[in-house]
Amino acid sequence: MQYPILGIDIGATTVKYALLQDTGVLTSKGTQRIRAASNAEFISQLQEIVSLDAFQDARTVGIGSPGPLDLEKGTIISSANLPAIKDCAIVGELQNSFPKKAFRLDNDANAATLGARFFGKAKDKTDFALFTLGTGVGGGCFWQNQLVRGYRGNAFEVGHIPVAAFSEKNERQGRLCGCGNYGCAETYASATGIQNSYKNLTGASLTAKEIGQRARSGDSHAIEAFNLAGHVLGLVAATITQTLNLTDFILTGGVAASEDLLRPAFERAFLDHTLPVFHALLSFVFTEGDEDAGIFGAAALFLEKIQ
């Protein structure tokens, strides 16, 4: 890597960015609240970030964004957590503004998966799955030492696996997701899902971090909210294992800091819903809420081809 790479991580409420240096260290880090009332406002904010003095030496810019995306066109089609963004030609707009820089867009969870492969807990792994646990739930998969992207970059949307979509009578049920469907995993296992679980039980509106603090103090409703989240994540992991035979899982993002509250239900659900032949192979690692995973991953979009 001859020049530093600018990594931009677009989340549900914030955009984070930093330079990745040859040493593998991030410098010139920053965070902003997302301004996304329209495509134009959103693009303007990204242009301001790329034009910062600290980033003038970056010839390449990797961007991780929630989707669905169209990687062929370099556009954000839509986002459950950024409802005003529609068919946003993010790569084309930025390329026009900065013709001497190269831009690459990918799903934020795909980017985080690359970051784990190059810089994190998945170094030297050829087959693993990664869950990003934040405002929503995302996922990425390395299979036979290649990132699985799927149709136009939209593979492995684990947050939208319908874990509770229908009753035995085939009646629609479960929580309404931002994607428009019901019973998606992220409506239970994300920070928002945990907040909603606790509110449904108590009527109180607290952050996931506050609910975690209450769970550790013995609040039974808080414990139940995290048990449900862990259970759902275990079901998702079991589904992946039964389908692809993957048994290595990495859980990252803010909610992953609550490993002590999620792990027991996660492991029980996985073991209860997989064939015994896989049980001894199970490996799952929590990254303690690594806040830089998305930035590393976005920058790693330009390292993937030279691994």
Domain limits, the chain:
5-112+293-306, 123-286
Tokens of 181: 């469907």
Question: Is the fold of 5-112+293-306 the same as that of 123-286?
Answer: yes
- The architecture of the domain spanning 5-112+293-306 is 2-Layer Sandwich (3.30)
Q: What is the pLDDT of residue 306?
A: 44
CATH assignment, 123-286: 3.30.420.40
DSSP codes, 154-170: ----GGG-BTTSB-TT-
Answer yes or no: is pLDDT of 136 > 60: yes
CA neighbor of 101 nearest in space, from 19, 16, 15: 19
Between residues 171 and 196, the one the model is more confident about: 196
Answer yes or no: is pLDDT of 173 > 90: no
Helix (H, G, I), strand (E, B) or coil at 240: helix
Q: What is the pLDDT of residue 289?
A: 55
Average pLDDT over residues 64-70: 87
Q: What is the pLDDT of residue 36?
A: 87
Helix (H, G, I), strand (E, B) or coil at 185: coil
